[in-house]
Structure 1
Amino acid sequence: MMAALTTRFLALVLVVLAVVSRVYAQEVADGQGHTVSLTIERLRQTHVLRVGYGTAAPFSFTNANGDISGYSIDLCREMAEEMRQILQLPEIRTEYVFRTPANRLQLLNEGGMDIECNASTNLPERRKAANFAPAHFFMRTRLVSLKRNNIHKLEDLRGKSVSVVLGTVNISQILQLSRERRLGLVTVPVDEVERAFELVNNGSVSAFAMDDILLHEMIARSGHPQDFSVSEEGLGEPAAYGFMTRINDPEFADLVAKALWRVYRSDRMQKIYDRWFMQPFGEPPHSLNLPMSAELRAMMESVE
């Protein structure tokens, strides 16, 4: 009796594992020795691309009209049209999925979204959990603080508090630098970029460590940009932003890269960039006046 129950239990376990592996596997054999991307096959059937977005203007955010907007969103729309042409589909509709820095990898690899079109940094440790598309921006981590606090570099924060966003590389950067330099920093983790910036604005923390482009954008629309200062010192080397796709679906990642290269080569690319970095946008209208970096221009000119 016990042997029979054990056999049935093991059989049930094997069935469960088979179902779970099918859920997480995004490439399967087609019966002819070829692999088939489940993401692409679902796209062929539904004509719906599930796009992850966040609250990181000017990359992806909800505008005053309630629409999902931003530089990354515009690029993903153009990318989707190129994908439609490559796959020869009658249409591709975009379904937006809200994600946070803390849950983005889980949503991506469990199938909640097909691609994250926001501002995720392409790092070696992240490449173990996601595929990255060709870069669409380059940034560096810096500190934002109120000018009256006279914080120009990391050393000026000795023994003070720093807000960080969960799921970002900034946490590990701050903790590592605090240990190496024996700064005794107190980190205050929060879920959202806007919340971390507000902690600086209301004096709850001394500084906020985040990607410099996001800091400049939040300062520009704060209503009192003259009150803030961005550190002269960068924390770490410049890094690339890239759209993330599932780690176990390289065929879909290749399709995304091919479609993006077409956008990067077109005259649409400069127009999209200028709309978000050289012209006023948002509420209240504000401009970042940030020309395309040499790193980004070189990367786009080198795509094949």
Structure 2
Amino acid sequence: MKTIRTIVPTVIVASLAVAAANICAQTLEKVAATGKITVAYREAAVPFSYLLGPHKAVGFSVDLTQAIIDDVRSQLKKPTLKVEYIPVTGQNRIPLLVNGTYDLECGSTTNTSARGKEVAFSINFFYAGTRLLVKRDSGIGSYADLSKKTVASAAGSTNEKVMKKYSADNNIDVRMVSGKDYAESLQFLEGDRASALALDDVLLFGLRANSKNPNSLEIVGDTLQVEPYACMIRKDDPEFKKLVDGTLTRLMKSGEFTRLYRKWFESPIPPAGVNLSMPMSEPLRANLKVRSDKPAQ
């Protein structure tokens, strides 16, 4: 009898855990039941998602998020659907999505096969690659110049992994220091705690444009790895992925996606009115037609 009493509660607990996981995975049902969708944003990922005020996020990815929310409202026939916004970092964005804290993240997250084991990704909406931000008088023009120097990156980023691998493969003994987010990583460079900042090239353009002294910084080095950005949703939720992909497809086909791209990458953006002057890359231009969700290799 003791054995039965031990096994039955265990089976019940396990069954409840599986059921809870399945309920959590079905985003549209969860949103319809609660009357609320919770979306994530990044606080310093210019021009994708960044703060203009204490709690107001703006950016290219924020605009994509809003379009998805509009389609959720339309599909659920809930025009007054409540929206909650929460900030996430490179370290907590996946755990908080998996455990149901929020429902959707469109920021500056790279679509990788490793991450695909825990979450699902939408159609890719941007392609970036790791480069270096340095001070103009640093004497650093390539990765070879980083020998025995300290390089900053954001904790949990793919750039951190790429730099560690490059350092090991090329025996240049790079010392890595990790910031909790992009803003802190930039502070390491500006405060001379690091000789270079390794991030996706577009993030570096954004950080430089909004830094204390943009003219003192430059972006150097070849692109180490091409990385696709995509929206994150929970795994095993084909209905919500279909909706998110459908929104992005609609924007890409209608030309609205290109308009939003020009707004954030080829026009003056807040807060300082700096123009990143970044024409759309060939991989992204091609994906407006292909609309692939293929992860980085």
The CA deviation at 1:65 is 6.5
RMSD between superposed Cα atoms in Å: 1.9
Equivalent position SS for 1:133: strand
The CA deviation at 1:303 is 4.0
Give the distance between the partners of 1:174 and 1:278, measured in 2 at CA: 29
Equivalent position SS for 1:163: strand
Alignment of 1:103-182 (within 5 A): 103-182=92-171
Give the distance between the partners of 1:98 and 1:40, measured in 2 at CA: 21
Q: Which residue of 2 aligns with 1:62?
A: 51
Match status 1:44 vs 2:32: yes
What are the Cα deviations for residues 278-298 of structure 1, in whole angstroms up to 9, with x where unaligned? 222222221111122222222
Give the distance between the partners of 1:153 and 1:243, measured in 2 at CA: 32
Partner amino acid for 1:50?
A: T
Structure 1 residues 125 and 275, CA, compared in 2 at 3 Å: closer, same or farther?
same
Give the distance between the partners of 2:54 and 2:189, measured in 1 at CA: 27
Q: Which residue of 1 aligns with 2:242?
A: 254
Give the distance between the partners of 1:147 and 1:26, measured in 2 at CA: 53
Residue in structure 1 matching 2:19, options 14, 22, 30: 22
What are the Cα deviations for residues 95-154 of structure 1, in whole angstroms up to 9, with x where unaligned? 112111101110111111111110101112112221111111111111111121111111
What are the Cα deviations for residues 26-60 of structure 1, in whole angstroms up to 9, with x where unaligned? 48xxxxxxxxx621112223342211111212111
Give the distance between the partners of 1:200 and 1:114, measured in 2 at CA: 34
Partner amino acid for 2:276?
A: L
Identity %: 28
Partner amino acid for 1:256?
A: V
Give the distance between the partners of 1:171 and 1:248, measured in 2 at CA: 29
Contact 1:152 1:231 (C-alpha < 8 Å) held by counterparts:
yes
Give the distance between the partners of 2:245 and 2:121, measured in 1 at CA: 9
Structure 1 residues 26 and 183, CA, compared in 2 at 3 Å: closer, same or farther?
farther
Structure 1 residues 141 and 231, CA, compared in 2 at 3 Å: closer, same or farther?
same
Contact 1:81 1:92 (C-alpha < 8 Å) held by counterparts:
no
Q: TM-score, normalised by structure 1?
A: 0.89
Alignment of 1:169-248 (within 5 A): 169-236=158-225, 238-248=226-236
Equivalent position SS for 2:123: coil
Equivalent position SS for 1:184: coil
Give the distance between the partners of 1:38 and 1:122, measured in 2 at CA: 21
Count of matched residue pairs: 291
Instruction: Compare 223-232 and 202-211 and name the one that shifted more.
Output: 223-232
Structure 1 residues 297 and 83, CA, compared in 2 at 3 Å: closer, same or farther?
farther
Give the distance between the partners of 2:205 and 2:123, measured in 1 at CA: 24
**Runs (5+) with no aligned partner, structure 1:** 28-36
Partner amino acid for 1:93?
A: K
Match status 1:283 vs 2:271: yes
Contact 1:82 1:262 (C-alpha < 8 Å) held by counterparts:
no
Contact 1:23 1:110 (C-alpha < 8 Å) held by counterparts:
no
Q: Which residue of 1 aligns with 2:71?
A: 82
Q: TM-score, normalised by structure 2?
A: 0.91
Give the distance between the partners of 1:121 and 1:21, measured in 2 at CA: 28
